[in-house]
Structure 1
Amino acid sequence: MAAFKLDRAAVLKSAEGLIDFVNKGPSPYHVVEECKRQLMERNFTELKEKESWEIKPNGLYFVVNNFSTIIAFAVGGQYKPGNGFNAVGAHTDSPCLKVKPRSNRSRCGYLQVGVECYGGGIWHTWFDRDLTVAGRVVVRSSKGLEHKLVHIKKPILCVPNVCIHLARDDHLKFAPNKENHM
């Protein structure tokens, strides 16, 4: 078995790069935008979904769908139209609380935001934590409807836990009603 030595500086630089990437991606839309930026930096060409593509040997390409999906690929030097190809995929989403389109409510003097649980989250970990807001909004402008990224970095929301004397048995099994309690 061959042994290899890890270069500590290279490992730390790689880890810091990953942390920086994760911090730039608080939503799938932000992740796609950051991937697009990095690909453009590396001379990839953006292809449009609804246009014909002219794929060439040694080409670097990507396509974006709905601002939330990105597919990037490199074409080998011996590529000929009609040949097969290999692809590797990943996803840009993760468990989160999505703000409902009609989410504005108030109860007991508090402004509330209706959310829905997306993905397979470990939901009890979301209670009693400061939460930020990130994603996209669609706005009407002189150009028509435009997509804009939003990231409010300071905590503005919280999913409060009920106090213990109002829920004596919650410590036995924490099972919030996702529709009414989040």
Structure 2
Amino acid sequence: MALVKDNILLQLVRGTLGDQLTIYERNGQIIMAKKRGPSKKKPTKKQLEARYKMKIAAAYARSILEDPELKAYYKSLAGPGQNAYNMAVKDAFRSPEIQNIRFEEMDVVVTTKDEFRVVDVDVRVHDAAGTMLERGKAVLGRNGVDWYYKAAVLPAGGRVVAVAVDLPGNETLRELVIVGDGGK
């Protein structure tokens, strides 16, 4: 490894030269080093999980490039130096967030958040024994973050399970125990 000082040619050069040298900048210093080869260490479980997640995200991003509507959507969100593919990979990497579940009389209100878009919220109502009493799709409210589901019954001691799904199909599940009469 060598630190480069006051060389006008290397002030502008970054990258790999041939298969031998790599020039990069770290903390304001220009560094020339022998090109590194692939690691000989066995990847950790976390590294394997990250690689798999990236493989899935890249496959999703490639698929949206074939859909003009989705491609235009992601392109509209891209900043300088970014494109629809980059945005789709970013979206596929992160699952939506369910911030809150609350009751407004017999409505189950699920507040969601996603950097891009939550496309679906599924609500299930279970009794205290765990038997599913009803299931249905919530409807997006005017504010764009609250999803409303009109429940037929909200049994005390039961639970409400909400599943939020984003554009790439990532799911987030959250449960809430029904206390009291559930809003009746």
Classify the TM-score, shorter chain: under 0.3
Q: Given the two structures, how large is their TM-score scaled by the length of structure 2?
A: 0.23
TM normalised by structure 1 equals 0.23
Larger Rg: 2
